[in-house]
Amino acid sequence: MTQTQTYSDSDAATKYADLSENLSLGERDTNQRNLDGHAVQAKFITPLDPVIETEDGSRLPGVPLQEAHKINALKAQAGGKRLSVHTADNESSNSSHQREAEAKEDPYAQDDILDQAVTSLRTHPLFPPLPLYGPPSLLRNAHCLFFRVTSFCLSTGFLLVIVLGALFTSIPRIVHKLWMWLTLRNPDARRPFYEEEQRRAASRKEEERQWSQRTLQAKRSSKASGRRSSASSPAPHAQYEPLEGGPDKLLCDPRYYARRVGLEMEKFEVQTEDGFVIDLWHVYDRTEQRPSTPQEKEEHGPDIFKPDGNDRQHIPDGHKRYPVLLIHGLLQSAGAYCCNDDDSLAFYLHKAGYDVWLGNNRCGFSPKHTLLKYIDPRMWAWNIRQMGVMDLPALISRVLSETGFPKLGLVAHSQGTTQTFVALAKEQRPDLGDKISVFCALAPAVYAGPLIGKMYFKFMRVISPAMFRIFFGIHAFIPLMMKMHAVLPAKLYGFMGYKVFGFLFNWSDDRWDRGLRDRFFQFSPVYVSSESMRWWLGRECFAKHKCVLSTREENINEEVEDESPERDQEAYNEGQEAENATKSNKGRTAWYDKRAPPFALWVAGSDDLVDGKRLLRRFERGREPYVNVTHTKVIDEYEHLDVIWAMDAIDKVGSEVKAVIWKTMREEDKERCRAINPYSHQHG
């Protein structure tokens, strides 16, 4: 080894140590010996999604590509390996042939093949680099405090304006309602399901009365026998006898609502590949399955899709339940699928015969990371890309690990569909499609609806990214909403939640069971990052391009093509050869490749938040030649949340989801599972 190379390696070691310290959890102590959460290298989850791996195997969230490649290159050079740092400026002079030659000459280089595989450090316009925050220091702490103070004041003012706007716009409705009552007319009689709503309210009252009687009888029996008795014990003759009853307590607890319909739920912890710990809820029937132990419900570390899947319940073939994972929407949680009694999608699918799991995204109601704390801005440096590339695979991996199946059915609503559409894209994690038997998208959020042009959303798009951070901070987005959730009475919070979100997103409760409406808003909002909301509403990403995977220019080209449908369809009428040529051409601009699972889409026709019909046109026009769209439905009268909360949602959506999952299952999985009648609409 020459003196020049020795000096170069020594210099690389120094730079590696400095960069490692800059990417570590904490700073060195005064003796320069201990480094908290010492960063060792960047681990690439995808070629464009690196995370930092620490000395003890823990993970820190991702860093910009330049920093990730740099630390790996410096580490390799300090260890005597030849690994160059590729940048957008020098990439053209370092061709793939040169890199292949280097790899053959230096076997060590092949250890870093993923690092070498990236052809450009330029990220997609829709996914610009996230901010990089170093370990805590006096300057960084002062920086964070500044943003926390400014965002508290300004975002509170913004929230107050929204609340006042929601209340002000309610005045005409209140006046109209009062006038109807004064003229001896029932203002609710015109609601689409008024009679059914009244019937269900009466039924709930009767169930409360029966529960009170059983409770009283149990107490009397307990006194007479001198033994302690539980009022929640189910009657032996009924499979789904309620385990909870009485007046609704309005709890933010999906297990409570599962017990009200005779089921149980348990919560698992799942670690993502960048160190976040998220919740995964499991619906089960205690008459056929034992609850998992605390050890079984713990997170298993950051590595996913390990070959250790097995059915921990040891249920014999022919009696198993096929796994189905449900993912919630923006500012919501898994409980959104559990608050409509037996008409809740989660409980309906379980009683139909499926093994139902419900995933929460990162942070949720209880932000948790293996290394980071709430006040650390790195805890909040994520957006929809990380939710799709990190959260969704971790949840799918855990469900498959617990059930022993190679695939599952995936059902998502709103933002849950966004993270899935992003994750399955050929530039992200297309291999995830091999784990999904069908992707059921409810109110798919891919293209923006007209609501994006509202004044309050325009404000977020007009201000600069720096001003956005001053207004909404670099931590959680308006955390005061979660504080209000904790302190306000449940009924008042439910009322305010409906008014505010209805005002923001332009939906109504016309098709909901109004007697359950306060439940719906016990499960939202949740903690989300300001960076995530900036992705949705800021001037750079979704609000600018109005699509989650195409730029504004590409969208304009699509609109031009859609104006002349006969021109785009011409190739399909010229024989098989022309059809294959067109398919090959469209495949180059498609979002998905052959690994995409079958898609099924339910579009709300009166949805102002997203434009589901335009997504259907994308598939109908052949722009995704490798995607098998196995089911589509447009429900003209539905708004954005009606697909999960409307009183007829089970008939119009849930029963079809049940049938589509069964239809798309592998035949060998059907043989392992209990038979499901895809045409039956009955619950349980």
The domain spans of the chain are 3-122, 254-665
Tell me which residue of 390, 372, 384, 451 sits closest to 418, measured CA to CA: 384
CB atoms within 10 A of CB 233: 11
What's the whole-number mean pLDDT along residues 347-367? 96
Active-site amino acid positions: 414, 607, 640
Q: Is the pLDDT of residue 96 over 90?
A: no
Q: Residue 598: is the preceding peptide bond cis (ω within 30°)? A: no
pLDDT at 575: 43
Task: Select the more confidently predicted residue: 397 or 118.
Answer: 397
* Model pLDDT, residue 429: 96
CA 496 to chain centre: 24
Q: How confident is the model at residue 215 (pLDDT cuts 50, 70, 90)?
A: confident
The tens digit of pLDDT for each residue in 35-72 reads: 568 899 999 999 999 999 999 899 999 888 889 999 99
| Contact (Cβ atoms closer than 8 angstroms) between residue 659 and residue 679 | yes
pLDDT given at position 585: 56
**By the 8 A CB rule, do 358 and 352 touch?**
no
- DSSP letter (8 states) at residue 432: G
Half-sphere exposure of residue 179: CA atoms within 13 angstroms, side-chain side: 6
Neighbours of 169 (CB within 10 A): 12
Report d(CA 190, CA 645) in Å as an integer.
19
Give dist(CA 423, CA 167) in Å, integer: 38
Rounded to an integer, what distance in angstroms lies between the CA atom of residue 671 and that of residue 651? Answer: 27
What's the pLDDT tens digit per position in 604-655?
999 999 999 999 999 999 999 999 999 999 999 999 999 999 999 999 999 9
**pLDDT at res. 580:** 52
Of the listed ranges 267-281, 347-361, 443-457, the one predicted with least confidence: 443-457
| Helix, strand or coil, per DSSP, at residue 355 | strand
Q: Does 3.40.50.1820 match the CATH number of domain 254-665?
A: yes
For the segment 117-127, the average pLDDT, to the nearest whole number, is: 62
> What percentage of the chain exceeds 90 in pLDDT?
67
The conformational region for residue 603 under phi > 0 = left, psi -120 to 50 = alpha, else beta, is beta
Look at residue 562 in the predicted model and tell me its pLDDT: 72
Residue 60's SS3 state is strand
Binned at pLDDT 50, 70 and 90, residue 13 comes out as confident
Residue-level pLDDT at 37: 84
pLDDT at 26: 85
Which pLDDT score is estimated for 111? 39
**CA–CA distances in Å: residue 77 to residues 66, 117, 474:** 16, 18, 35
pLDDT tier at 254, thresholds 50, 70, 90: very high
More confident residue, 81 or 152: 152
Q: What is the Cα–Cα distance from 133 to 145, expressed in whole angstroms? A: 14
For the stretch 478-525, pLDDT in tens is 999 999 998 999 999 999 999 999 999 989 999 999 999 999 999 999
Percent of the chain with pLDDT over 70: 84
Q: Report d(CA 449, CA 561) in Å as an integer.
A: 20
Tokens of 82: 């030849």
**Where would I find the H helices in 79-193?**
96-105, 113-117, 138-182
φ, ψ dihedrals at 242, nearest 5°: -55, 140
Q: What is the pTM of this model?
A: 0.89
Query: Are the C-beta atoms of 40 and 75 separated by less than 8 Å?
Result: yes
Q: Give tens-digit pLDDT for 256-306.
A: 999 999 999 999 999 999 999 999 999 999 988 899 999 999 999 999 998
The overall average pLDDT reported for the chain is 86
